[in-house]
Amino acid sequence: MNRDIYFTKEYAEVNELIEHGEAISIEIQCEYGHITHTAIKREIDTGIDGEKYYDLITPYGYGGPVVHEYVNLKKLIEVFEETLMDYCDKHSIVSEFVRFHPLFQNQESFRSVYDVKYMRKTVGTDLISSTDIFQSEFCATARRRVRKLVKDEKFSCILARGFHDIEDFIAIYNDTMDRHHATDFYYFDRAYFEGLKRKFGNRLVTTSVYFEGQIIAMGLYFISEDIIHDHLNGTLAEHLHHSPAYLLKYTMMNWAKANDFSLVHYGGGVSNAEDDSVLKFKKRFSNHTEFEFHIGMKIWNRTAYDALCRQKGIDKKTDYFPAYRAPRIAVKEN
């Protein structure tokens, strides 16, 4: 956990582009232990009496504060909360939204600080629990489709370190998002991918499926200690019927297993519904391996939070957090 890519300041810095904010890093080393915390500081578009205010959010994916070591956890958490409260007061930070890491369940140490809420399951392929991962973790449908693709000489799949094919990936990924009518949140500027390549180099891996020499599907992964994080994937619309995504997953599984990784983590769905179609697809490669994903919410300045909600005409009790960023729904007049 201490060195997972999602907890690094470098990853937060790349995500400044997505959240239109500034990466911050807070470190506490005291007699009680050691905690680090990275986040993105975002300006709130509405001020109060001419003063600017900000909030904090986890970079895309997962994160939150991390306890590296401790001799008295209760006291350490108290110091963390006091330190962060002081930081937020000095920097006009109103609230914080945290996506905790499902693999490490780091929310458990911070339940006294944040309002922690369970959201959904995430899944992965366990690479060490069985000698035959393909049989134990891939469902029958996935195994059948993989075998069909592997036997067909028109298809091939190449795995590469270093993310040298950004242009191909952007084209395939954006085609996939267009097909799903995705919101702006799921699109990334080229600068984001260039930033990942610059910061992480060979810790990035791509799998690419070719059909008759043409690239038709790609996956982008992070190497993080003995874990592979499946970050983003895409398939060209005209080749969906070939199901190349199965070959992407199979290729990564084989490479990760051969190189002594313990897990390929795919994440969860795009909603909290148990029948979410994205999650159901990912479960085809994860017969026995799932995790719980939690979020954390914290209002650091209640007075400013309430004032911002009033200014925007939003009920502060809405489920959306922070409420002052809730999307406004246009009402059509007759």
Instruction: Write out the DSSP string of 26-40.
Output: EEEEETTEEEEEEEE
Residue 112 φ/ψ, nearest 5 degrees: -80, -15
Task: Give the pLDDT of residue 228.
Answer: 97
Same domain, 74 and 155: no
Same domain, 146 and 244: yes
Q: How confident is the model over 107-123, as a mean pLDDT?
A: 97
Same domain, 10 and 103: yes
pLDDT over 70 (residue 329): no
Answer yes or no: is 61 within a domain. Answer: yes
Answer yes or no: is 334 within a domain. Answer: no
**Rounded to two decimals, what is the model's pTM?**
0.92
HSE-CB at 277 with a 13 A cutoff on CA atoms is: 1
Answer yes or no: is 72 within a domain. Answer: yes
Give per-residue pLDDT as tens, 58-110.
Answer: 999 999 999 999 999 999 999 999 999 999 999 999 999 999 999 999 999 99
Same domain, 54 and 137: no
Give per-residue pLDDT as tens, 209-257.
Answer: 999 999 999 999 999 999 999 999 999 999 999 999 999 999 999 999 9
**Cα of 70 vs its chain's centroid, Å:** 27
Domain count, the chain: 2
Task: Give the pLDDT of residue 1.
Answer: 57
Q: What is the average pLDDT value for the chain, to the nearest integer?
A: 94
Q: How confident is the model over 154-182, as a mean pLDDT?
A: 93
Same domain, 36 and 136: no
**Regarding predicted confidence, which is higher, 276 or 157?**
157
Helix boundaries (H) for the chain? 9-14, 16-19, 73-90, 133-137, 140-151, 166-179, 190-200, 245-258, 277-282, 302-312
Task: Give the pLDDT of residue 328.
Answer: 67
Answer yes or no: is 330 within a domain. Answer: no
Q: How confident is the model over 117-128, as a mean pLDDT?
A: 96
Amino acid present at 136 = S
Answer yes or no: is 332 within a domain. Answer: no
Residue 332 — very low, low, confident or very high, per pLDDT cuts 50/70/90? Answer: very low
Same domain, 99 and 184: no
Same domain, 240 and 132: yes
Range of the structural domain that residue 33 is part of: 5-113+301-325
Answer yes or no: is 214 within a domain. Answer: yes
Q: How confident is the model over 41-66, as a mean pLDDT?
A: 95
Give per-residue pLDDT as tens, 192-221.
Answer: 999 999 999 999 999 999 999 999 999 999
Q: What is the CATH number of the domain that holds 34?
A: 3.40.630
169 near 220, Cβ under 8 Å? yes
Give per-residue pLDDT as tens, 269-301.
Answer: 878 888 888 899 999 999 999 999 999 999 999
Task: Give the pLDDT of residue 2.
Answer: 66
Q: Token pair of 228, please?
A: 């592979």
Same domain, 207 and 105: no
Same domain, 176 and 159: yes
Length, in residues, of the chain: 334
Same domain, 270 and 314: no
Same domain, 309 and 272: no
pLDDT over 80 (residue 334): no
Q: What is the CATH number of the domain that holds 163?
A: 3.40.630.30
